[in-house]
A and B are shown apart, each in its own frame.
Chain A
């Protein structure tokens, strides 16, 4: 089991929580993700017991850590109460935008990230609301400054639908799998949200740049995926 960090998505609405689980699960098929939405009698609100049950079920199911994401105020307060009462180092709250954070957290968990890595990924999700170019600008700049042995490749995006959620997740996972820093059109290629933020459509030109011990292999693998249309069509 590569994805041992599990997620609980807590929303005021059962439907919203379930929907967020669906979206996140699509990007991270091996991650255990549970919804804890609404009150026990199906109203809008948050249930301490539903959150607690979701967390303990995941821990009992073998999760090494559980990261909890919430939508609004009382969901966060309720989840924090659960974390306090359980008093278990494996259970952490992640303060991040609900949907974007859940997706980022799921992708990080899918890549084997521990609770800290999953939390950090979720928190960077807020950057997806800004100018996406600024998301990667810092990291791309750092990479350029740190490395002189960069490998570069350009490839045309074949998918008719462009770099939407599923291929973006595939690409981000691929980028994270190698010991390399990869950027795509200037943004961090390991960040699914940064990739989606580019809004690349079919036919767009992708400029890949990588540094690090496995830079060449990383680009090779990514280019192969892009040229195969990510298995879509």
Chain B
């Protein structure tokens, strides 16, 4: 179990994020077609593909902190996504980047990073828990990470708790009426459909935990 997570983890998280968004592209499109404008999967896929291009570009300065990686994600998503997910995720990663400005993050750092991300999403989208948005996934995720950090757990454990809470949070949007975004125009017709942003949030946090666990499964002090 890694006690702390580093730039290599952040970079691999971004790579796996791009992969998982690509894998679930159609599923996210279908969710968004049901209650939105149908572009969430496509937009996010385009955004994360652009992030990879940027990451692999030899002209991109080598990230020295976890925050550097997150900031690269933020600016690229804002520029390339084209839908609400761009500014929402962009602000989330940007705020998270600001609190993760060192080469590593520990459990408290993960909690702070997620808390900052929630703050960014709420500031940008003005949504609350229960509005059937990404906030329904991120808020419990940040709370779960904080609980693990306060209990003396590792960064990896904090992420796993966050991922589990985000998954439950995403599922909790199924019966809700949307109060924000395009889905709010549907009223009761949105009931029974999962919020696409909450689903993609749960996917991204799940791979964050997967990558952390995979890193910890190697020998301690593995290259990186």
Q: Does A110 contact B (CB under 8 A)?
A: no
Q: Smallest CB–CB gap between A70 and chain B, Å?
A: 11
Cβ < 8 Å to B, chain A residues 96-139: none
Partner of B86, one of A46, A72, A84: A46
B82 contacts A77, CB within 8 Å? no
Known: A46-B82, A49-B79, A73-B182. A80 touches B43 (CB 8 A): no
Partner of A45, one of B43, B78, B90, B124: B43
B86 contacts A48, CB within 8 Å? yes
Known: A74-B87, A81-B91. A47 touches B182 (CB 8 A): no
A81 contacts B124, CB within 8 Å? yes
**Bound complex: CA A78 to CA B88 (Å):** 8
B87 contacts A80, CB within 8 Å? yes
Most buried by A among B78, B82, B180: B82
Partner of A47, one of B79, B85, B88, B90: B79
B181 contacts A73, CB within 8 Å? yes
Size class of the contact patch on chain B: 20 to 34
Q: Does B83 contact A (CB under 8 A)?
A: yes
Q: In terms of DSSP, what is the predominant structure of the interface of chain B?
A: helix
B43 contacts A48, CB within 8 Å? no
B87 contacts A77, CB within 8 Å? yes
Cβ < 8 Å to B, chain A residues 44-93: 44-49, 72-74, 77-78, 80-81, 84
Known: A73-B182, A77-B125, A80-B124. A45 touches B87 (CB 8 A): no
A74 contacts B84, CB within 8 Å? yes
Tally A residues with Cβ within 8 Å of B: 16
Closest to A75 in B: B84
Q: Smallest CB–CB gap between B103 and chain A, Å?
A: 25
A45 contacts B83, CB within 8 Å? yes
**Bound complex: CA A21 to CA B183 (Å):** 28
- Which chain B residues lie closer than 8 Å to A78 at the CB level? 78, 86-87
Q: Smallest CB–CB gap between A79 and chain B, Å?
A: 9
Q: Does B195 contact A (CB under 8 A)?
A: no
Closest to B90 in A: A81
A45 contacts B79, CB within 8 Å? no
Closest to A45 in B: B82
Taking Cβ atoms with an 8 Å cutoff, the residues of B that contact A are 37, 39, 43, 78-79, 81-88, 90-91, 124-125, 180-182
